[in-house]
């Protein structure tokens, strides 16, 4: 029997002869003529080891970050536009003028475009979650194909060997003619040595490709049978995306609380029930609203740089800080083997719920809020510093008009009066002109016109 490599296949057009606008020939699938042997099964087993899904998961993670960041930036622009319009309208109304309706129409147009783009990004994020589920299930699907191929090969080999044994026993019992006996004997030896001259081809449904497609279809059917809430409300990628969009649409300290995850898809799953009010939900919203998010880690008391949120209790921490708390103390030699097998846990610093590293999820929405709060605090601190600088005295040269100085002429007259009083108190007996002059302190001698005044005083003393 010719080998699989020698079977004729339609030859594809060489790449050098194919025109750019010419589509490649479609691949025609051929059903396997024999079950996978041991070497082929080992190659299938090493498939995922050679091509790990880690790179696919990295792509999913990068796509999640990009889509989330874009959604936040787009809705930030919409919130800024609404805030600017509100300030402009208030300023115009304060001046007694009529608002320009063109500004309102431009804002409505921009809001509509942002909402449409956000919906497209929302759909993309759901597809990312679907891809993440498929990539996570891929190793199990390949294992199912491998196990199915091994089971098919074992079953067909056992069946072929049993058929060969039955034919051999039949040839021994029957004493046919020499020529026929000779031919049957050759075939019988071949059957026994090779356990079958030609293994039976597996059924099309048990072929590896068919098993793979069947497993993928079953995985998709199970996933698509779930509700939107079950699929996406607990997926880390979509939760981070939804929180980011909500934070960008509602900036500020008076932002409404994040809706409960069970209500995110009511408009699509059950439009009628989404209109009804839920008193219990309102109480939960009030409870959430009472808890103000400071943007600071309760462990480090610093603003978040890489926040993670617990899936058990909902509290958030700086990633390195909570992991440092989970780090166990250095064990002794007798405890080392036992400690390595234990799961690292730590009580939540806020509510004492036991947490592990697997319970922590990155929180991009909280990081955005922390950055915004920190920027607002820095801005307020700078404004307060400027106000303090304005209130503080800036020197006698700039504030000289507040001291109440006297005119220059008045100052000179006072100096002259002081000099005359000191001279009049000097004893005149046995005094000379030079002695009288030296009785005036040097500190009272001034330049310019004051020197002239001193000279006139000396002449009066001499007279």
The residue ranges of every structural domain in the chain are 32-246, 256-292, 293-328+344-386
Question: Which of 316, 319, 322, 301 is closest to 258 using CA atoms?
Answer: 316
Amino acid 444: pLDDT = 45
Percent of the chain with pLDDT over 70: 57
Which class in CATH covers the domain with range 293-328+344-386? alpha beta
Whether the pLDDT of residue 30 is over 70: the answer is yes
Q: Three-state SS for 407?
A: coil
Task: Read off the tokens for 327.
Answer: 């780090």
Mean of pLDDT values over 140-169: 61
Question: Which of 351, 116, 360, 83 is closest to 240 using CA atoms?
Answer: 360
Please state, in angstroms and rounded to a whole number, the distance separating the CA atoms of residues 281 and 291.
16
Please state, in angstroms and rounded to a whole number, the distance separating the CA atoms of residues 441 and 454.
12
Going by C-beta distance under 8 Å and a sequence separation of 6 or more, which residues neighbour residue 393?
399
pLDDT category of residue 65 using cuts at 50, 70 and 90: very high
Question: Which of 258, 308, 264, 312 is closest to 126 using CA atoms?
Answer: 264
Amino acid 191: pLDDT = 46
pLDDT one-digit tens code per residue, 245-300? 999 999 877 888 889 989 999 999 876 655 444 444 444 444 444 345 678 999 99
Q: For residue 368, count other CB atoms closer than 10 A to its CB.
A: 21
Mean of pLDDT values over 73-80: 94
Task: Read off the tokens for 140.
Answer: 């199990």
Name the residue with higher pLDDT: 306 or 403.
306
* Secondary structure (DSSP) of 313-361: T--EEEHHHHHHHHSPPPPPHHHHHHHHHSPP-EE-TTT--EE-GGGEE
Q: What is the dihedral of CA 108, 113, 115, 116, to 10 degrees?
A: 140
């Amino acid at each position: 029997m010719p080998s699989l490599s020698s079977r004729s296949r339609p030859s594809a057009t060489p790449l050098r002869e194919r025109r750019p606008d010419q589509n490649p020939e479609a691949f025609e699938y051929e059903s396997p003529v024999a079950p996978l042997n041991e070497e082929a099964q080992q190659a299938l087993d090493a498939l995922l080891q050679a091509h790990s899904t880690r790179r696919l998961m990295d792509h999913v993670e990068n796509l999640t970050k990009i889509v989330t960041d874009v959604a936040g930036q787009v809705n930030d622009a919409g919130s800024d536009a609404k805030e600017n319009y509100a300030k402009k309208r208030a300023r115009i109304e304060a001046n007694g003028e009529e608002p320009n309706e063109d500004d309102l129409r431009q804002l409505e147009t921009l809001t509509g475009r942002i909402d449409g783009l956000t919906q497209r990004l929302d759909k993309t994020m759901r597809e990312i979650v679907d891809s993440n589920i498929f990539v996570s299930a891929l190793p199990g699907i390949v294992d199912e194909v491998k196990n199915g191929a091994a089971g098919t090969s074992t079953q067909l080999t056992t069946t072929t060997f049993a058929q060969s044994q039955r034919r051999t026993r039949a040839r021994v019992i029957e004493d046919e003619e020499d020529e026929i006996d000779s031919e049957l004997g050759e075939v019988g030896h071949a059957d026994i040595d090779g356990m079958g001259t030609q293994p039976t081809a597996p059924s099309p449904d048990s072929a590896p490709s068919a098993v793979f497609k069947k497993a993928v279809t079953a995985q998709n059917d199970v996933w698509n049978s779930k509700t939107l809430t079950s699929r996406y409300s607990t997926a880390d990628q979509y939760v981070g995306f939804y929180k980011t969009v909500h934070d960008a649409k509602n900036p500020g300290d008076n932002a409404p609380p994040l809706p409960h995850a069970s209500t995110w898809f009511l408009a699509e799953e059950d439009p009628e029930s989404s209109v009804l009010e839920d008193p219990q939900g309102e109480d939960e919203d009030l409870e959430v609203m009472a808890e103000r998010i400071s943007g600071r880690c309760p462990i480090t008391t610093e603003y978040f740089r890489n926040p993670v949120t617990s899936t058990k209790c909902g509290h958030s921490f700086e990633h390195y800080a909570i992991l440092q708390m989970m780090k166990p103390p250095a064990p002794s030699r007798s405890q080392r083997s036992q400690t390595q097998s234990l799961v690292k846990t730590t009580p939540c610093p806020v509510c004492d719920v036991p947490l592990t590293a697997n319970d922590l999820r990155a929180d991009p929405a909280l990081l955005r809020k922390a950055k915004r709060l920190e920027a607002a605090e820095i801005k307020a601190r700078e404004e307060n510093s400027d106000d303090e600088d304005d209130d503080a005295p800036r020197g006698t040269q700039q504030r000289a008009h507040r001291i109440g100085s006297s005119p220059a002429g008045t100052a000179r007259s006072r100096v002259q009066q002081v000099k005359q009083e000191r001279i009049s108190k000097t004893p005149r007996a046995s005094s000379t002109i030079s002695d009288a002059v030296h009785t005036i302190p040097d500190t009272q001698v001034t330049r310019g016109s004051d020197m002239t005044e001193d000279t006139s005083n000396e002449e009066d003393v001499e007279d």
